[in-house]
Amino acid sequence: MTIDPSRFSKLLGEFKLEQLFNELGWDQANLRPQQVVAEGGSYTLTSIAQKRGVVVFRCSPDVGGNIPPRATLLKIEKEATKLAHEHLLVFANAAQTTLTWLWVARVPGQPNTTRTHTWHKGTSGESLRQKLGQIVWALEEEEAITLTDVIKGLRSAFDRDRVSKRFYERFKTEHEAFSAFIDGIDAATDQAWYASLMLNRLMFVYFIQQKGFLDGNPNYLADRMRAVREQAGKGKFHTFYRQFLRRLFHEGLGQHKKARVTDLTKLIGDVPYLNGGLFDVHELEVAHPASTSPTKLSSACLPSSTPTTGTSTTGRCPLAARSTPTCLATSSRSTSTRSKWGRTTPRKTSPSTSARTPSSLICWNRRGNAARSPSTATRRYGHCSRPTPTATFTRP
């Protein structure tokens, strides 16, 4: 179930919160208005909606017609807990120009954390609409919804900014470590730019892998790595990127199926074409065709395997939660020529042609989980003003 943005804005602007929650699929509340006292003032809590025991309360303003200060809000929240342990509070001023939404995350064994979101009349309510979209369920899901599901929805809605901040902080740390591995590109801005591009590509690949879009296999990369290693033979497996990922990126994901060479499907399987330029040959890959990494690194580890002699894990990429480093490899330029900024003109190549030009060092993890758009992250922490390409998924 969804609510039209214009309809949402209308109900929000008119402060018709009870009707808003009703159209979001929440049930009518059956609690009577309750008077609570906090910081010497009296406030009325009116239940406007409920879902599986989670109650939404609207609180009256203070004697001056304003939303109470934060200290008072927290006291009111404690009083609301006596009425309904799990709840969402909405504070409105008398002039109906401001709304403050307050939710408290309760995790056993940890201190409670308070999350608020303030909206002012006349401003966009899109951010709030997206938050509340986390506590809306389809009709066919209604019977299976539990209290836990509603709490998880609230956590997803009101803890989103915190999760985003952690992601960006982690991305920045990994981006800096990643950049240090690039060899053959001297300019610091170009190194940062190329690190952003590679991280962008890798996170996107992990995302579509988990969705089953890469040969229908959610463990696609690890399985292909094992297969390529076995096919290459003992002592002949140098880098997963050189022998597989490069072709997957540029000749597979970055090229229409009709334009792919005949032997490619056997190597990469059934993968979609992703337009938008993310997997095209980048101009840095064209400008630095002879660059190399200082040390040839092969896979660091695979499920049920031990690290290859001489590998290093200092470049592990922790963007994927609870993961271990799976591969450190040398990256290489693609085998197509760039005709203009951000675009490429593919040309047919042979494996021998495409294996001659390594350019930089990358790392990736077996379990990747992109909660936010990689292109957003790389634009923010790419340390340069040049555009970062994005990808648009085209179903096979």
For residue 24, count CB atoms less than 10 angstroms from its CB and return exposed for 0-12, middle for 13-18, buried for 19 or more.
Answer: buried
Digit-coded pLDDT (tens) for 184-193: 788 888 888 8
If you average pLDDT over residues 322-347, what whole number do you get? 31
- Spatial separation of the C-alpha atoms in residues 316 and 323, rounded to whole Å: 10
Residue 64 structure tokens: 């001056």
Digit-coded pLDDT (tens) for 213-252: 999 999 998 899 888 888 877 666 566 767 888 889 989 9
pLDDT at position 316, please?
A: 35
Question: pTM of the entire structure?
Answer: 0.47
pLDDT at position 38, please?
A: 96
Give the range with max mean pLDDT: 65-74, 107-116, 163-172, 190-199: 65-74
pLDDT at position 1, please?
A: 61
List Cα–Cα distances, 217 to 214, 222, 223, 252, in angstroms.
6, 10, 9, 16
pLDDT at position 238, please?
A: 60
pLDDT above 70 covers what percent of the chain? Answer: 69
Q: Tokens 């990643």 label which residue?
A: 178
CB atoms within 10 A of CB 95: 10
Are the C-beta atoms of residues 238 and 312 closer than 8 Å to each other? no
